[in-house]
């Protein structure tokens, strides 16, 4: 995202009320049409559904300066998903009609939104491939790679710190917490990841990406 586009987005949403949500707070329930658009100032929000077993299945993640739920705002379709914070999160809350008009008036912002939507769709399709044909190990590795690319804090050219938990990785990969713990242990034994006070440390991302090709 270019600085000019980000400035436009920040300036537009800054005129609307700001709210603070604690970690693990549901801000939109499935079946609820919120009649609001949330713009993330800081934090992280997960979009998810509940499986027949009662497990959370994460579909998408939003970070600053994303705004959602745009399917409901643009197409006026019913919302079928939960949206929950994965960290303490600050948002601005705007009326959908104002946001849609803002996009119409600013084609560069609309293009940026489409760009991010298609990047997110690419991630969803990749996740679908691994859910349908991958091993438990490949499904976890894929989520770790996506986390590095989208949310990781660089610790060098190939090393990343991930501010996430095994519970979140289980929800994104469709695996049980126990399975994720077992596969994480294997990756730690291979010195590909480590756990420290900062979070999950991916020591060598290219090596992790190389493993994915072997596991599909």
Contact 168, 203 (CB under 8 A): no
Contact 201, 195 (CB under 8 A): yes
Torsion region of 17: left, alpha or beta (phi above 0 gives left; psi -120 to 50 gives alpha): beta
Contacts of 180 (CB under 8 A, 6+ apart): 140, 166, 169, 170, 173
What sign for the dihedral angle of Cα 194, 198, 199, 204?
negative
**pLDDT value at residue 85:** 96
The token duo for 105 is: 């008036």
pLDDT by position in tens, the chain (length 216): 788 999 999 999 999 999 999 999 999 999 998 899 999 999 999 999 887 777 778 888 898 999 999 988 888 888 899 999 999 999 999 999 999 999 999 999 999 998 888 877 777 777 677 666 678 898 899 889 988 988 888 888 889 999 888 888 888 888 888 999 999 999 999 999 998 888 899 999 999 988 876 554
Q: Do domains 3-126 and 134-215 have the same CATH topology?
A: no
Domains of the chain, residue spans: 3-126, 134-215
Tell me which CATH homologous superfamily contains domain 3-126: Jelly Rolls (2.60.120.10)
**pLDDT value at residue 175:** 86
**pLDDT value at residue 213:** 63
The token duo for 15 is: 């005129």
d(CA 108, CA 115): 10
**pLDDT value at residue 71:** 86
**Chosen CATH of 134-215 out of 1.10.10.10, 3.40.50.10740, 1.10.3720.10, 3.60.15.10:** 1.10.10.10
**pLDDT value at residue 16:** 97
Is 190 in a helix, a strand, or coil?
coil
The token duo for 81 is: 């998903």
**pLDDT value at residue 28:** 96
Q: Where are the strands (E) in 63-172, listed by range? A: 67-68, 82-85, 89-94, 153-154, 160-162
């Amino acid at each position: 995202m270019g600085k000019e586009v980000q400035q436009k987005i920040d300036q537009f949403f800054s005129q609307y009320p700001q709210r603070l949500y604690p970690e693990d707070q549901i801000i939109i329930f499935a079946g609820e049409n919120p009649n609001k658009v949330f713009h993330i100032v800081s934090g992280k929000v997960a979009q998810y559904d509940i499986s027949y077993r009662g497990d959370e299945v994460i579909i998408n993640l939003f970070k600053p300066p994303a705004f959602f739920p745009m399917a409901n705002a643009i197409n006026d379709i019913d919302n079928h998903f939960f949206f929950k914070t994965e960290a303490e999160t600050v948002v601005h809350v705007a009326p959908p009609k104002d946001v849609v008009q803002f996009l119409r008036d600013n084609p560069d912002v609309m293009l940026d939104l489409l760009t991010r939507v298609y990047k997110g769709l690419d991630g969803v399709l990749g996740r679908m491939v691994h859910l349908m044909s991958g091993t438990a190990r490949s499904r976890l590795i894929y989520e770790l790679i996506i986390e590095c690319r989208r949310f990781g804090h660089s610790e060098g050219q190939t090393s990343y710190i991930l501010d996430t938990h095994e519970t979140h990785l289980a929800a994104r990969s469709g695996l049980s917490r126990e399975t994720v713990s077992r596969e994480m242990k294997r990756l730690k034994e291979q010195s590909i990841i480590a756990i420290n006070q900062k979070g999950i440390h991916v020591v060598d991302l290219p090596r992790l990406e190389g493993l994915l090709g072997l596991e599909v």
